Structure 1
């Protein structure tokens, strides 16, 4: 019985693997864009209807201008990677929302929101480009669909393990510890990996759009200063620590500039 459950789980997981255009590696993804995008667009429109969208200001125009530059750069990058039609179903939209939270997000399919609360930290157009590049990268890499898929696997393994082990002592221990163990050992590292991928992809795309990739590390220095060093332990967090991000983003600068140079971009806005 246990072997049959394991074989079924492996077949299910293998059938849901897709290749990332950025890494060339297989990713866990059971959710198609045809399923995900309409739901995402509907949720985005609902969010806008329930929040204070800022229009007609210099800041709102900057959000749209930066978003458009980043989207063009993303298309150029993906075409160069051999995925010219990758963005055909994306419906780009960029909105500034009045909210004190230092946050931004991009829904699957290219629907972006920037909160006014993050603008004092981004500081200028280049800092905003790093934030929007990061959020856009989550959508390009299908991180939302991957998280949904990983959650399905987590739940499926938990159910299969509980059924296979039954009410035995092993089954009781499994049910007691599986949730925490899978969260700390699987889901949180999975999320941190996505954040690191989005940092890398987003910074490269922002560089192709003409923004200085060195600004990404500077942005996170400001984020770190705002937090006052009050961050959860990295192992218990969905995100890498600010220190880890600053180190990785600093090391990424030469590569990002090399990638941008392939598109004729050798001077950068900072």
Structure 2
């Protein structure tokens, strides 16, 4: 088979996979998802176990109870495969960060608690991270990467005459360490903001505190954030404007407010 034939074959294979894996996110954005929920849950669990071994875990009972309380209030509003108690670990680090992984895993760094100063602001961040899981953003990122790998591997093998089947299987493999922790793009970040805002409001948290949270984030960054076009995250001002607009669309029937204290 010559190079041109292999190139056409790569395109046909990619098109077939795209058609088979086409899906829509919770906000209606088109996605390509090549992996099953079971695949992603296993990958998330493996990555989480490795992080727990490598990072220092914060064992203060009061802090852990507080973070668990906020998380439980949010996850109680989930349904389907995402329903149930999520595993939450607090990591002892100055990082102002948190994450959620497929399979019901959440990590919160103690540095975040200096910026998210109340339960509503912490719910903003955790709800946002849960939004990434609900919208299958890890699956989407891995799927894009694997589709690109298929094309490159098939093209490189055209000279040697190797069958395309092996390249396709390799391209769809899960051999990517910490694959679910790859950075998200701006569209995914904005989508998670919306999903997280809706979730925190449904759980009874004050959605207006999401604006306060990102103002705190802006101050904590000390103005060091790169310009929006050079970053995978929306700028703080864009994020705040989008949140304010979304808040006006939320239902006017507030839920019972959680009582999580530190």
* Same fold at TM > 0.5: yes
CA contact (8 A) 1:211 1:269 kept: no
The yes-or-no answer on 1:39 pairing with 2:29 is no
Q: Which residue of 1 aligns with 2:81?
A: 86
Provide, for residues 92-134 of structure 1, a one-character-per-residue CA deviation record: whole Å limited to 9, x for no partner: 1112111011110011122001000111110111110001000
Provide, for residues 191-247 of structure 1, a one-character-per-residue CA deviation record: whole Å limited to 9, x for no partner: 111101111000110011111111111111111111122222322322111111111
Counterpart pick for 1:196 among 172, 190, 195: 190
Name the count of aligned residue pairs: 233
The yes-or-no answer on 1:210 pairing with 2:204 is yes
Counterpart pick for 2:74 among 70, 78, 85: 70
Q: Distance in 2 between matches of 1:94 and 1:189?
A: 21
The yes-or-no answer on 1:6 pairing with 2:1 is no
Q: Which residue of 2 aligns with 1:19?
A: 24
Give 3-state SS (helix, strand or coil) of 1:54's partner. Answer: coil
Provide, for residues 121-148 of structure 1, a one-character-per-residue CA deviation record: whole Å limited to 9, x for no partner: 1011111000100011111111111110
Q: Which has more helix, going by share of residues? A: 1
Counterpart pick for 1:108 among 97, 102, 108: 102
CA contact (8 A) 1:91 1:109 kept: no
Counterpart pick for 1:99 among 93, 96, 117: 93
Q: What's the TM-score once normalised by structure 1's chain length?
A: 0.77
Measured after TM superposition, the shift of residue 17 of structure 1 is 1.8
Question: Does 1 or 2 have the higher relative contact order (CA < 8 Å, sep 6+)?
Answer: 2
Q: Distance in 1 between matches of 2:149 and 2:236?
A: 30
Q: Distance in 2 between matches of 1:10 and 1:220?
A: 40
Q: Which residue of 1 aligns with 2:134?
A: 140
Q: Distance in 1 between matches of 2:70 and 2:196?
A: 13
Q: Distance in 2 between matches of 1:157 and 1:202?
A: 35
The yes-or-no answer on 1:127 pairing with 2:132 is no
Give 3-state SS (helix, strand or coil) of 1:95's partner. Answer: strand
Measured after TM superposition, the shift of residue 62 of structure 1 is 0.8
CA 1:42–1:54: 2 relative to 1, 3 Å: same
Q: Distance in 2 between matches of 1:7 and 1:233?
A: 38
Q: Which residue of 2 aligns with 1:81?
A: none
CA contact (8 A) 1:210 1:269 kept: no
RMSD: 2.8
CA contact (8 A) 1:91 1:111 kept: no
Which ranges in structure 2 are unaligned for 5 or more consecutive residues? Answer: 159-181
Provide, for residues 152-206 of structure 1, a one-character-per-residue CA deviation record: whole Å limited to 9, x for no partner: 1233344566778xxxxxxxxxxxxxxxxxxxxxxx9971111011110001100
